[in-house]
Chains A and B, each alone.
Chain A
Amino acid sequence: MVVLWTDALIYLLIVVMLALGWYLRGKEHIKRPLQQIGNSKIGMVSLVVLLFFVLIGLLDSVHFKPEDDKKNEIISLLDAFAAPLREHGEKTYSAPFATTLYSKEMMMQSDGSMQWGYPRLEFGGSHLEAPETQLMPDILQKAAYGLVQGLGLMGLLLTISLLRRGNAARPEHCQRVLAARGADKASAKAIWQVLLIVVPLAAALIHLSAYYHVFGTDKVGEDVFYQAVKSIRTGLVIGTLTTLIMLPMALIFGILAGFFRGWVDDIIQYIYTTLSSIPGVLLIAASILMVQVYMANHEAAFTSVIVRSDMRLLFLCMILGVTSWTGLCRLLRAETLKLREMEYVQAASALGVKQGAILLRHILPNVMHIVLISVVLDFSSLVLAEAVLSYINIGVDPASYSWGNMINGARLEMAREPIVWWSLTAAFAFMFALVLAANLFADVVQDAFDPRRSGNE
């Protein structure tokens, strides 16, 4: 097993979240908003979609070197599952579900003569004898097979969960208990509905992708579906690790500035005003240029492509973190200024509680809702920002998979006739699904945790 830097940080993030969950379990003031999220249909549906993305991202974050390995490359669990997708490269562009290449070529016929036409793909639909007639029925048949597989899996899960609930209640009342539960848990139904759509669809896609290039292939013949799925990790890493990196800085500086005021406040305010007065894109551009120079001059430290792109991803997260902590810091400072004048804080300091204890016990827990809301809100904008930055060449490494790189690579092909639309469509569709789910979830979280909003519900 090989642990890359971003992998390690992802594991750290998971540990931190589990620890937080363990610490907060059963606390009444956390339970209420969590229940509100749980009762919200939109919230649960978007959470399921997000978790689906996270699952793929996690699979892609466990890296190892395969045993029978000659090229000395590092692959992830996802790569191992999707081995056919990774290895089935064509020569160049091909449309989704195509059996021939996108452009005409001179082909050698079996009798030795040359012919001008569309050559068959090496892998996509290569099991078909006569693609013209067999293609549609075969696609439908394979899709139906995948759907049935997925539905079967879901049916199994549904039965298990029903049986478990049924065992809890008396068998003859099973039906009624279920109905009662269903009534006050409309969101549970919504979850099952989403799962019933997502899982069979995913199963069908997986089954089809073994025989066809579902989203076509790109310029060098790489499967676009594989690229889009691999890009999920990059998007998630940028959305989450950036926050992980900037959070300690924003929390410590914001609370200290608000609590101690005086010269501490002045210095911290000076730092964040200075940083925020530089337009974000330009600061990122300047920093990335410097990282490029550094990496070019220290080539020895970055031996393999995946290590290099991983380091650059980490640098990008750090830089985005440095440019984005100022907003949260300002909010936290304002909130702490308000909190330190509250009666309970005054009482604590009158009783002789040490300043450190007041900060940890009384101030920190009471600003956590701001942190949570801004973390969730920032996620989607970071995912979108990645695409834009990659387009200006100051994003992730050009060799790594990301939606920004896919868009960047495909945008010039819009001028071709007939146009190559599939790379762009796949990248935008995946990105849209992730960002929409994140935005919807962020709204629900904000409604649940923001005290200003809960009043008018």
Chain B
Amino acid sequence: MIQYIIRRLLYSLPLLLGVNILTFVLFFVVNSPDDMARMQLGQKHVTEQAISNWKQQHGYDVPLLWNSAAEGKNKIADTIFYQKSVGLFLLRFGISDSGRNIGADIKERAWPSLAVALPTLLIGLLVNICCALMMVLFRNSYLEQAGIVLCVILMSVSSLFYIIGGQFLIGKELRLVPISGYDDGLEAIKFLILPVLIGVFSGIGSGVRWYRTLFLEEVEKDYVRTARAKGLSETQTLFRHVLPNAMIPILTGVVVVLPLLFMGSLIMESFFSIPGLGSYTIDAINSQDFAIVRAMVFLGSVLYVIGLLLTDISYTLVDPRVRLS
């Protein structure tokens, strides 16, 4: 087991290296730091002096890959690639273009993101599975037909509509909860109700359909027929036999997104002005802060790789047929 995990961790290194090189190419080769400086300082009437000042300030004034002017080890160390990209492997995110410490920002803002994303995921899972089970229980009836149609309709509505509509109806017209904002500690709950509710609701359509197909696949199998033949009622077979077995793909599907919950949701957080990593990213995109976007891309892929690892491990825990080797 330990051996397997170590091997998987080593295997993920080339992946992260690939991501790193990709972002490096995207951010420094496609457009040179000069272009970025010109963009940041305003398009026209930028003097060479101002550009080189900006580059020096942000540490972009060294060569990309190979510094022939430096001595010995510094030939590699005094380059943009070494300073800006290699540090990411040690989770040293450096300083943003506006002069803030990205690492500290991320640590601080990950928790509000989690406070929205985790309840959304858990409640959504519960609601989706309940609805899907209901539809499978009443399969081949008008109730199921209506459920399918409703799911397609819910799926076809833009998530922006749910957010704007929810804010308008619950926040503005009914005045049940604040429209947006965030607070520390337990006070945050009243701000979290609406985003969680809307997040759950906008996921129902596709979620229920997906779980329904999973359950239906399971219902067709031989062991379910045997269970029915033994004389178990439909509800008993569904809850005692189908549900535990269908939980395997569901659980592993959830595990893979667990680490990514820290990243938060871009739209939800910006609509409800929650100071999480999602709105952090949006602010960075809007103010064209390349350092933050680069850091978030890398962080996201690290979390995804961790998620893949957790998935493999969780397979062995819930499904005795799978052995790691």
Is B160 touching A388 in the complex (CB atoms < 8 A)?
yes
Residue of A nearest to B17 (CB): A274
A51–B19 CA distance with the chains assembled, in angstroms:
41
CA distance A292 to B19 in the complex (A): 21
Q: Quick check: is B85 within 8 A (CB to CB) of the other chain?
A: no
User: In whole angstroms, what is the CA distance A431 to B156 when docked?
Assistant: 8
Interface contact B18-A286, CB-CB below 8 Å: no
Contact B267 A286 (CB under 8 A): no
B8-36: CB near A (< 8 Å → 1, else 0) gives: 00000011001100110011001100011
What distance in Å separates the Cβ of A47 from its nearest Cβ neighbour in chain B? 15
The reply to whether the CB of B247 lies closer than 8 angstroms to some CB of chain A is no
Report 16 cross-chain contacts, Cβ distance below 8 Å, ordered by A residue.
A274-B22, A277-B301, A277-B305, A279-B263, A282-B293, A285-B293, A287-B26, A297-B39, A384-B159, A388-B267, A392-B285, A394-B285, A411-B164, A414-B167, A431-B158, A436-B153
Complex CA gap A292/B285 in Å reads 11
Main secondary structure on A side of the interface with B: helix
Docked pose: A392 CA to B23 CA in angstroms: 20
Residues from chain A with a CB closer than 8 A to the CB of B43 are 296, 299
Which residues of chain B are near A290, meaning CB under 8 Å? 26-27, 30-31
B294 at the interface (CB under 8 A from A): yes
**Residues of chain A with a CB closer than 8 A to B281's CB:** 282, 285
Take A278-B22, A392-B267 as given contacts and tell me if A297 and B31 are in contact as well, using a CB distance cutoff of 8 Å.
yes
A273 within 8 A of B: yes
State whether B290 touches A282 (Cβ < 8 A): no
Q: Does B270 contact A (CB under 8 A)?
A: yes
State whether A443 touches B158 (Cβ < 8 A).
Answer: no
Contacts A296-B43, A384-B158, A392-B267: A286 and B38 contacting too (C-beta < 8 A)? no
Tell me the minimal C-beta distance from B137 to chain A in angstroms.
Answer: 18
Query: CB-defined interface of A315-332 with B at 8 Å, one 1/0 digit per residue?
Result: 000000000000000000
B263 surroundings in chain A (CB, below 8 A): 279
Judge whether A278 and B300 touch: CB under 8 Å: yes
Q: Is B304 an interface residue (CB 8 A)?
A: yes
Contact A289 B22 (CB under 8 A): no
Q: Is B104 an interface residue (CB 8 A)?
A: no
Q: Which residues of the partner chain B approach A289 to less than 8 Å between Cβ atoms?
A: 285, 288, 290, 293
Task: Specify which chain B residues have a CB less than 8 angstroms from the CB of A388 in the assembled complex.
Answer: 158-160, 267
Contact with B along A428-457 (1 / 0, CB 8 A): 100110011001100100000000000010
Selected contact of B38 from candidates A297, A439, A440, CB within 8 Å:
A297
CA distance A374 to B161 in the complex (A): 25
Known: A279-B260, A279-B301, A414-B167. 15 other contacts (CB 8 A): A274-B19, A278-B297, A281-B266, A286-B27, A289-B290, A289-B293, A293-B39, A296-B38, A297-B35, A393-B286, A394-B285, A407-B160, A432-B157, A435-B158, A440-B152
B267 touches A391 (CB 8 A): yes
Q: Tally A residues with Cβ within 8 Å of B.
A: 45
Beta-carbon contacts under 8 Å, B260-280 to A: 260, 263, 266-267, 270
Please give the distance in Å from A440's CB to the nearest CB on chain B: 6
Alpha-carbon distance between A290 and B35 when the two chains are bound, in angstroms: 10
* A270 on interface, CB distance cutoff 8 Å: yes
B158-170: contact bitstring with A at CB < 8 Å (1 yes, 0 no)?
A: 1111001001100
Residues of B within 8 A of A (CB): 14-15, 18-19, 22-23, 26-27, 30-31, 35-36, 38-39, 43, 152-153, 155-161, 164, 167-168, 172, 220, 260, 263, 266-267, 270, 281-282, 285-286, 288, 290, 293-294, 296-297, 300-301, 304-305, 308
- Chain A residues with CB under 8 Å of B304's CB are 276-279
Contact present for A279 and B300 (CB under 8 Å): yes
- B266 to chain A: which residues have CB within 8 Å? 281, 392
CA distance A399 to B15 in the complex (A): 38
8 A Cβ contacts from A285-321 to B: 285-287, 289-290, 292-294, 296-297, 299
In the A-B complex, the 10 residue pairs with the smallest Cβ-Cβ separation, listed nearest first, are A274-B18, A436-B156, A279-B300, A435-B156, A277-B301, A293-B31, A277-B304, A282-B297, A278-B301, A297-B35
Residue of B at shortest CB range from A435? B156
Chain B residues whose CB sits within 8 angstroms of the CB of A424 once the complex forms:
164
With A and B bound together, what is the CA distance between A393 and B267 in angstroms? Answer: 11
Cβ 8 A contact of B282, one of A392, A407, A436: A392
Bound Cα distance from A444 to B74, whole angstroms? 62
* Contacts known (A293-B36, A432-B158); A286 close to B293, Cβ less than 8 A: yes
A278 and B270 contact, Cβ closer than 8 Å, known pairs A294-B31, A414-B164? no
Which chain A residues numbered 178 to 218 have a C-beta less than 8 Å away from chain B? none
With the chains together, A407 CA to B152 CA distance in Å?
22
- Please measure, in the bound complex, the distance between the C-alpha atom of A436 and the C-alpha atom of B149, giving whole angstroms: 10
Beta-carbon contact of B27 and A432 below 8 Å: no
Complex formed: what's the CA distance from A273 to B22 in Å?
A: 13
Alpha-carbon distance A297/B38, docked complex (angstroms): 8
- Closest A residue, CB atoms, query B286: A393
Chain B CB within 8 A of A243 CB: no
Chain B residues lying within 8 Å of A287, measured Cβ to Cβ, are 26
Question: How many angstroms from the CA of A296 to the CA of B40 in the assembled complex?
Answer: 11
- A280: min CB distance to chain B, Å: 9
Q: In the complex, which residue of chain B has the Cβ closest to the Cβ of A455? A: B220
Nearest B-chain residue to A456, judged by Cβ? B220
Does A231 have its Cβ within 8 Å of any Cβ on chain B?
Answer: no
Do B158 and A296 touch (CB < 8 A)? Answer: no
Say whether, besides A277-B15, A289-B290, A414 and B301 are in contact (CB < 8 Å). Answer: no
